[in-house]
Amino acid sequence: MEEKIIKTEYSEVMQKSFIDYAMSVIIARALPDARDGLKPVQRRVLYDMHELGIKYDKPYRKSARIVGDTMGKYHPHGDSSIYDALVVMTQDFKKGLPLIDGHGNFGNIEGDGAAAMRYTEARLEKITQDSFLADLDKDVVDFIPNFDETEKEPSVLPVKFPNLLVNGSEGIAVGMATSIPPHNLGEVIDAVKAYMLDESITVEGLMKYIKGPDFPTGGIVINKDELLEIYETGVGKIKVRGKVDIEKGKGGKTNVVISEIPYPMIGLNISKFLTDVAALSETKKTQDIVDISNQSSKEGIRIVIELRRDADVDNFVNMLYKKTRLEDTFGVNMLAIADGRPEIMSLKQIIQYNVDFQFQVATRKYTTLLEKEREKKEIQEGLIKACNVIDLVIEILRGSKDRNMAKACLVEGKVDGIKFRSKESKIMAAQLRFTEKQANAILEMRLYKLIGLELEALINEHEETMANIYRYEDILDRRDSMAQVIINELEQIRQEFAVPRKTVVENAAEAVYIEKKVEEMEVVFLMDRFGYARTIDMTTYERNKEAADAENRFVFVCKNTGKVCLFTNTGQLHTMKVTDIPFGKFRDKGIPVDNISNFDGEKEIVVAAESQTSLNLYRMIFVTRQAMMKVVDGGEFDVAKRTVAATKLAENDEVVSVAVMKEQKQVVLQSADGYFLKFSIDEIPDKKKNAIGVRGMKLGTKDYVENVYYLQSGTEQVINYKEKPVDLHKMKAAKRDGKGTKIRI
């Protein structure tokens, strides 16, 4: 076989491939169709269940069977994505209108996942069967080949109401995402009816029927005045609060009971909310909390926070709105596939698009029904006519040699070869002109049809057929008639399936939380070698001074209203509020500093310095591994950001020591090879924090600064260097940038 090499530009291939991939994800995976409000995987699951006959009044079938059949026939993208879609369509806390009736563990509102598909069972909900799949046999939508062209699947389901609004949708595609909140079925149907009666209605007019989103978790939408703009543009933010009730507790205490949560909180965010509330107490943001308990069950959400007797309940609730996710934001981006392309749609556009789709479906449905009724009419008229000349028909059948001869006589009046009893019969037979279908029906007619009652039933059936033809022609010829049919179907759906609204929509005042001023006092900051930090009062520290100094890496006094500075070996400065650090007993474990600061990933903390504001009074000495040194004014570190660069480092360099200059007079640099260099601190120049500094010591090729010691006048300082005592005060002073003296072991 001759080898064929195609030369092309690599960038063009990449561009085309990425565009193809992006469009595939956008159109065929992540975004819903504006007509039925379903993503392809959801549509395929529902259609497969319909094909398998798993109806609402039939027994449940294993989810694994549904998933496997869907994957094999329609959706070749892995079983997990299919099962996840099936699970979501069963969850009444995620969908305003569940489309699948699940039997077994399909997860819960607190974030627990569904059981494996081999354990759970499912079947269609009644509304899905009646309003999503009912007319597929009437040629109402186009069927397209599946992925391997062995099956046919509907390109869209003939949904009878704007499911895109009722159930909402969330999905992330390539370069775009959709986020549509769920709405109340009854309100959406009322809005559709209003639009059909007056197509010039505005979004504001539609909002007289659709008050706003209706989340299955309830809650309170608090920015009612902003909803009009959101629904006009299709983009915006909806603020949602949980529902809070106040109950009397035991012993005169007050219970704050959360019975409904914001929709974005469903899942693992409930446990995060409980953690955040507990953290408010641990960090002394509030001292009103006595106990927290999650008493939620199948009956609904119930989170109880027990408060002290003298607690300011209103201020505490406002603090929950401000400091936790009890007040959250639902980002709206009403993006859907319309006419084969993604489009951000307003509320009216979604309804308009769906109504146009309803008229298309109804036109195809009644065209199909009309054709069937006309076929019935033709056959019925033939049978009635045949019954009127039944003796002649029987004479033709008895006198014919075969079926074809009899049929030719009935259709074309050919009498050759047929034996008649009389010439009159032959003349009458030659005048017969039945149609092909009528002739076949006459030849297949059973004798009991000649009974009087059966003949009367046939005439009545013909009259009914004529009435249906007249009705279907009227529906197809007059838009008003078709609109009335669609409205009647919508009203029937509303009466059977609509439920009261769960979410309250109002304009609520912004939560105002008055934070109690913390009484300023001095506390002792302790951080052990594992990075756990805590603060204790001065009295506790004095009683346990020896143990505190021995067990902790950093110990210093600071104000409880200030900030603690963490200087790392990578040259970063992280700050954390002292109020975020647990204050308690000496033996308390504390909290990891990376939980309350941005410290994450650096090898180690070089020093934890006293409160940020006090650094304004001092200067800071920086020493790096490559012996670069500088003095920086402490005021440069009084910044609002939680993380800043504390110093500039050369390549492969790192900070070895950071010290606050107070009473130090001299500095001693010790290298890894055992060289010691002692000189006056005054020789270190003042620099800005973004400067590298000057060299403090000449180092060998592979040598580096290992330790830094600071000396005060009038005090002795003896260190152990490789088990040999070294008196730093007796060491001879030199100049900066010398090689130093090597200590012999």
Q: State both tokens at 7.
A: 């030369």
Asked if residues 85 and 39 have their Cβ atoms less than 8 Å apart, the reply is: yes
Q: Domain 243-325 maps to which CATH number in 1.25.40.340, 3.20.20.140, 3.30.1360.40, 3.10.129.10?
A: 3.30.1360.40
Query: Residue 180: is it exposed, middle or buried by C-beta count within 10 angstroms (0-12/13-18/19+)?
Result: buried
Q: If DSSP codes are grouped into helix, strand and coil, which group holds residue 297?
A: strand
Once rounded to an integer, what is the mean pLDDT over residues 714-731? Answer: 83
3-state secondary structure 166-178: HCCEEEECCCCEE
Percent of the chain with pLDDT strictly greater than 70: 94
Q: Domain 522-742 maps to which CATH number in 1.25.40.10, 2.120.10.90, 3.40.50.620, 3.40.630.30?
A: 2.120.10.90
Indicate the average pLDDT of the chain. 86
Q: Which H/E stretch holds residue 477?
A: helix 452-477
Q: What is the distance between the alpha carbons of residues 428 and 434, in angstroms, rounded to a whole number?
A: 13
Asked if residues 262 and 328 have their Cβ atoms less than 8 Å apart, the reply is: yes
Specify the range with the lowest mean pLDDT, choosing from 95-109, 142-156, 518-532. 518-532
* Range 31-159 classified under CATH 3.90.199.10: yes
pLDDT at 492: 95
Per-residue pLDDT reduced to its tens digit, 492-517: 999 999 999 999 999 887 777 676 66
pLDDT at 28: 65
Q: What is the distance between the alpha carbons of residues 452 and 390, in angstroms, rounded to a whole number?
A: 13
Provide the β-strand partners of residue 448: none
Residue 106 confidence class, pLDDT cut points 50, 70, 90: very high
pLDDT at 452: 58
Specify the range with the lowest mean pLDDT, choosing from 331-335, 514-518, 637-641. 514-518
Asked if residues 597 and 576 have their Cβ atoms less than 8 Å apart, the reply is: yes
Highest mean pLDDT among 195-209, 453-467, 503-517: 195-209
pLDDT at 453: 57
- Rg, Å, the chain Cα set: 41
pLDDT at 24: 66
Q: Do domains 31-159 and 243-325 have the same CATH topology?
A: no
Asked if residues 629 and 621 have their Cβ atoms less than 8 Å apart, the reply is: yes
pLDDT at 602: 62
Once rounded to an integer, what is the mean pLDDT over residues 53-73? Answer: 95
Percent of the chain with pLDDT strictly greater than 90: 41
Once rounded to an integer, what is the mean pLDDT over residues 485-494? Answer: 95
- Listed in sequence order, the residues at least 6 apart from 501 whose beta carbon sits closer than 8 Å to its beta carbon are 184, 187, 211, 214
Q: Which H/E stretch holds residue 44?
A: helix 40-52
pLDDT at 639: 79
Provide the β-strand partners of residue 630: 622
Q: What is the distance between the alpha carbons of residues 328 and 117, in angstroms, rounded to a whole number?
A: 33
Q: What is the distance between the alpha carbons of residues 620 and 567, in angstroms, rounded to a whole number?
A: 11
Q: At residue 111, what is the residue type?
A: G
Once rounded to an integer, what is the mean pLDDT over residues 20-49? Answer: 84
Asked if residues 197 and 182 have their Cβ atoms less than 8 Å apart, the reply is: no
**Residue owning tokens 């994957």:** 71
Is the pLDDT higher at 600 or at 141? 141
Given a cut of 60, is residue 1 above it in pLDDT?
no
Specify the range with the lowest mean pLDDT, choosing from 157-171, 445-459, 632-646. 445-459
Q: At residue 706, what is the residue type?
A: E
Q: Which of 56, 119, 209, 513 is catalytic?
A: 119
Residue 409 confidence class, pLDDT cut points 50, 70, 90: confident
pLDDT at 116: 94
Q: What is the distance between the alpha carbons of residues 165 and 181, in angstroms, rounded to a whole number?
A: 7
3-state helix, strand, coil in the chain (%, to 5): 40, 25, 40
Q: If DSSP codes are grouped into helix, strand and coil, which group holds residue 12?
A: helix
Burial annotation 396-421 (CB, 10 A radius, 16+ → b, else e): bbebbeeeebbbbbbbeebbeebebe
pLDDT at 124: 96
Strands 655-661 and 718-721: unpaired
CA contacts within 13 A on the Cβ side of 525: 28
CATH of domain 366-478: 1.10.268.10
Highest mean pLDDT among 95-99, 175-179, 606-610: 95-99
Q: State both tokens at 182.
A: 């769920």
Domain ranges of the chain: 31-159, 243-325, 366-478, 522-742
Helix 403-412 × helix 436-444 angle, to 10°:
130
Q: What is the distance between the alpha carbons of residues 282 and 666, in angstroms, rounded to a whole number?
A: 43
Q: Which H/E stretch holds residue 147?
A: none
Per-residue pLDDT reduced to its tens digit, 254-284: 899 999 999 998 877 788 888 888 888 877 7
Q: Indicate if 119 belongs to the active site.
A: yes
Given a cut of 80, is residue 37 above it in pLDDT?
yes
Query: For residue 178, how far is the Cα from the chain centroid?
Result: 10
Per-residue pLDDT reduced to its tens digit, 412-424: 777 777 777 777 7
pLDDT at 609: 65
Q: What is the distance between the alpha carbons of residues 74 and 40, in angstroms, rounded to a whole number?
A: 9
Q: At residue 46, what is the residue type?
A: L
Is the pLDDT higher at 236 or at 518? 236
Is the pLDDT higher at 519 or at 718? 718
CA contacts within 13 A on the Cβ side of 12: 3
- Listed in sequence order, the residues at least 6 apart from 43 whose beta carbon sits closer than 8 Å to its beta carbon are 33, 36, 154, 156, 157
Residue 53 confidence class, pLDDT cut points 50, 70, 90: very high
Cα angle value 88/351/220 (rounded, 5°): 55
Long-range interactions of 3-8: CB distance < 8 A, separation 24+: none
Per-residue pLDDT reduced to its tens digit, 662-693: 888 889 999 989 899 999 998 999 998 888 89
Q: What is the distance between the alpha carbons of residues 581 and 5, in angstroms, rounded to a whole number?
A: 67
pLDDT at 661: 83
Asked if residues 571 and 623 have their Cβ atoms less than 8 Å apart, the reply is: no
Cα angle value 298/300/302 (rounded, 5°): 120
Q: What is the distance between the alpha carbons of residues 361 and 155, in angstroms, rounded to a whole number?
A: 13
Q: What is the distance between the alpha carbons of residues 32 and 320, in angstroms, rounded to a whole number?
A: 35
Specify the range with the lowest mean pLDDT, choosing from 367-376, 613-622, 631-640. 613-622
Residue 225 confidence class, pLDDT cut points 50, 70, 90: very high
